Structure 1
């Protein structure tokens, strides 16, 4: 048995068989670009598989050295990759700027950071493993644009339509382009350094040749606009980096706009951080000590067993221990199935995160029923969960050696859980106002009861809703 067969054999022990079969077929038959920066949600849709199963399978493949994981900061406007990182630990900038769009974005994990997977050279060598050898069209497809953009199969043809001229410029070299620039908006752009120069071409035809110089280096410079007149232009391009650059002169057109607006779902860093398989594999190696990354919206669920101390007194330590362990197993199974993850347990309490409020509500309803069934099955009817849910912004941090969360949203969620009585689920207004949450509650015939409460350590009173 060779190394590749051994790796796939190990993967079959950890991941869903259908996902392993899909990956094995891809490694054998897919074109090179199909194995570079793979979008797990797109793969799942194409193979008619559950997204979480595909994500879990790819994560296990990473742990076995079969795939490489990339965390890319992407521009939400053009979907270009602004920074590609092997881990979250190197995302250390508070803001990233896109030269192509002349815009800056605060670094958040919600929709700005995508996670993709690339085949390891151990499994198969692909062109993207040597990006300096890619053609201009392939560089845009495989390096510059993220997996969030649905690129056409004939991308090279589309780029030819919007490109006035382009050059592959080695390090330290200079190129001179003689162009006849049309009226409109043009952009001199290099996808390697992300340097951009906008040209506003308008007015009467120039009687003499115009001159413009653009230098590419690793020092980011503000993007500005230069006014030119239609007609002849001598464009000097100089590469002062230690690698090649791929500058091109693009003409704004509907064809370019069409490429930039074609989008598809992608795996965000926020969603991956709420994936149970990811937390199980990488709970101690996600963020650097002292690193803080902002999440604009994350949903927290806190649960605790009601009167667990009395349970130990009533049934004895051994039986109670087995019950509590079974309770943790059921909760983790339900939370993971609703695309959530357990962050930590404290005694009999659980802290979990979900990408959206409706997933947390769905999990809470199932968890409540599961505890009732467990109590009835084991003849301990008092096995009840108290649960609280809140949604809001937070910081992803490392605490006590593992990836955790910090902020007022976490504090409120914890205190809301303390308001819950036996079997009740207490949620905040931001959770109930979510459209998917409202639809879920209506479908289950649940009518939350509103009240306003004061929470310890929270200055203003908080609107909460109790789900019976």
Structure 2
């Protein structure tokens, strides 16, 4: 453990190239914080919010050729610099540096080091400056004295907020009460436009509590949180149903409260590379200069849907008080750079799970299973040295080696997908989106991977005889009524109609169980023994990977999954639901079938296009329950 500044400089000496610029000014501060590192870490790595808290002037950043450049005005003095890529290791520390072209310094480096204690965390904060001229040598010591005082107060406030959040989480993420006087008070402070928007959202049958919460959020939330609104995260924080929140935001886009963007996300750093205003603006390839990669922008995890406050309601600007790279990449647990022919060591101390090991600029990565029981205990890691998959023991020693002639970045990151991302498929499977945004479509020739979807086909049995028997007018009236009910039942089951083909309907659902329940509800409605004239339908289901494409300027689904779901229709009869093994093997579906005592008949189905036989299942629905 580092005890003093001398220990620190011994462990982290200045590099000769910076010492050649002048004599450094070194500062090391020691703070005892009465909270565990796990609770402090998210607050400490968000250095932008912390700097804002302690009154550091706002900063402005631009990216050029994969590098980040910053400017700010401090005490009337213009500061310009190049931001050196950050390094950090989860719960252990972080460090960064800036190379100044203007201002009081030529160079600064900073570092946080965390040591766990029995009753909290010991935090070391280090700043090292190479001052520029006499002015820098004179002013920086006074500035650092004030900064130390600001840090003490700021960390005290962080402890308070950590404890507040802990108590908040104990009582539940949504313990809101909507008192009448609070609603009136907020309403009186709304601009006229927001009052009109609230009234229109109520007319559109959106949830009143969510409307009120959303208006308050737009009026009072920090600019940085409003810059890119992630509705899945809001659904968790507010403890409301995601679909209900989406309805407020989607309708809000149509009446001037929000705008929507289709953001292309780098698969490595998960930063936004392109912000498309319309789905048709997306292209098949994109790049990230920071991560030094080109990537396909049409993969399942490449696009995030974000909402933004409409500028006529509130001008929102992204405000920076620091680059805060670790806070923007919380899926990365370690980021370490090594100069050519350099080595470094670390001890792996993460929770059990699966992680990706990669070097910056390389698309290939290795999958590591971290375990407390067995596995590699000493890992030598250099470019292309790791197996595609390996098992490693927790608390193992990692030896990173850079044998190249270029600076090299080593990354350990979570393999888990960000659960707060709203994907295009989440909207495509929402009927309200298709109704409200029917002008949105992909560029011609572009196919978007939307992952695994459950596809449902319905068709009227005996429609030809129906037209012959009743005549066109009466038959059409029955078919039209059938479409109305099919649309209603699919929407009530959280599905969306993709298209109609003659008398048939194609729909999609977010899960196999939702699709099966919708099929059952459809068959129960169209198997009403009290109405001998009611139409009879057949339904078929399959789940699997799908592509979204542009067909007649609409969002259509394409692929083997869609094809098989449609082909099953030839083996389905009236009042039957036919589905594939992938539906049957779904855990939720199996539990539903067992709990409801539903009997199935298993048969063989010949796929004529490849002459392979698969198992399918038939479920007969006798009538309304």
The 1-side partners of 2:274 and 2:326 are apart by 14
**Could you tell me which of 87, 92, 96 is aligned with 2:278?**
87
**Could you tell me which of 221, 231, 237 is aligned with 1:30?**
221
Q: Is the 8 A contact 2:340 2:402 kept in 1?
A: no
| Alignment CA distance shift 1:126-1:448 (3 Å) | same
**Could you tell me which of 555, 560, 579 is aligned with 1:408?**
560
Moved more, 106-115 or 410-419: 106-115
Q: Is the 8 A contact 1:44 1:50 kept in 2?
A: yes
Moved more, 392-401 or 43-52: 43-52
| Unmatched 5+ stretches in structure 2 | 1-190, 346-359, 364-381, 384-399, 621-625
The 1-side partners of 2:233 and 2:590 are apart by 28
Residue 612 of structure 2 aligns to a residue in which SS?
coil
Question: Which digits, 9 at most, give the CA deviation of each residue in 1:378-398, with x for residues without a partner?
Answer: x23552220111122232111
Residue 303 of structure 1 aligns to a residue in which SS?
strand
The 2-side partners of 1:78 and 1:221 are apart by 11
Does 2:609 align with 1:418?
Answer: no
The 2-side partners of 1:251 and 1:393 are apart by 33
Higher RCO (C-alpha under 8 Å, 6+ residues apart): 1
Q: Is the 8 A contact 1:294 1:395 kept in 2?
A: yes
| Alignment CA distance shift 1:76-1:364 (3 Å) | farther
Instruction: Give 1:416 deviation, angstroms.
Output: 0.6
Match runs of 1:37-76 below 5 Å: 37-74=228-265
Q: Is the 8 A contact 2:453 2:510 kept in 1?
A: yes
Q: Which residue of 1 aligns with 2:321?
A: 135
Residue 526 of structure 2 aligns to a residue in which SS?
helix
Question: Which digits, 9 at most, give the CA deviation of each residue in 1:344-387, with x for residues without a partner?
Answer: 112221011122222211111111112224x63xx235522201
The 1-side partners of 2:340 and 2:617 are apart by 52
The 2-side partners of 1:321 and 1:301 are apart by 23
| Alignment CA distance shift 1:198-1:313 (3 Å) | farther
Match runs of 1:41-440 below 5 Å: 41-74=232-265, 79-94=270-285, 107-108=297-298, 110-128=300-318, 133-137=319-323, 186-187=336-337, 201-202=343-344, 264-314=419-469, 317-373=472-528, 376=530, 379-380=531-532, 382-440=534-592
Report which of the two has the higher share of strand.
2
Question: Which digits, 9 at most, give the CA deviation of each residue in 1:255-307, with x for residues without a partner?
Answer: x979x979544321122111111111223322112222223322211101112
Instruction: Give 1:315 deviation, angstroms.
Output: 5.1
Number of residue-to-residue matches in the alignment: 379
Q: Which residue of 2 aligns with 1:7?
A: 197
Instruction: Please report the TM-score for the alignment, with normalisation by the length of structure 1.
Output: 0.69
CA-based RMSD: 3.8
Q: Is the 8 A contact 1:37 1:70 kept in 2?
A: no
Q: Is the 8 A contact 1:341 1:352 kept in 2?
A: yes
Instruction: Give 1:12 deviation, angstroms.
Output: 3.1
Q: Is the 8 A contact 2:450 2:547 kept in 1?
A: yes
The 2-side partners of 1:295 and 1:51 are apart by 19
Q: Which residue of 1 aligns with 2:33?
A: none
Instruction: Give 1:99 deviation, angstroms.
Output: 5.4
Instruction: Give 1:423 deviation, angstroms.
Output: 0.8
Instruction: Give 1:414 deviation, angstroms.
Output: 0.9
| Alignment CA distance shift 1:280-1:135 (3 Å) | same
| Alignment CA distance shift 1:453-1:250 (3 Å) | closer
**Could you tell me which of 554, 577, 598 is aligned with 1:446?**
598
Moved more, 38-47 or 419-428: 38-47
| Alignment CA distance shift 1:293-1:251 (3 Å) | closer
Instruction: Give 1:320 deviation, angstroms.
Output: 3.8
Instruction: Give 1:251 deviation, angstroms.
Output: 9.9
Q: Is the 8 A contact 1:362 1:440 kept in 2?
A: no
| Unmatched 5+ stretches in structure 1 | 151-158, 163-183, 189-196, 204-219, 230-234, 237-248
The 1-side partners of 2:337 and 2:439 are apart by 44
| Alignment CA distance shift 1:49-1:372 (3 Å) | farther
Q: Is the 8 A contact 2:440 2:554 kept in 1?
A: yes
The 1-side partners of 2:307 and 2:335 are apart by 36
Instruction: Give 1:139 deviation, angstroms.
Output: 7.9
Instruction: Please report the TM-score for the alignment, with normalisation by the length of structure 2.
Output: 0.53
Instruction: Give 1:6 deviation, angstroms.
Output: 3.2
| Alignment CA distance shift 1:200-1:354 (3 Å) | farther
The 1-side partners of 2:298 and 2:596 are apart by 34
The 1-side partners of 2:297 and 2:592 are apart by 32
Residue 454 of structure 1 aligns to a residue in which SS?
strand
Q: Is the 8 A contact 1:185 1:199 kept in 2?
A: no
The 2-side partners of 1:333 and 1:41 are apart by 25
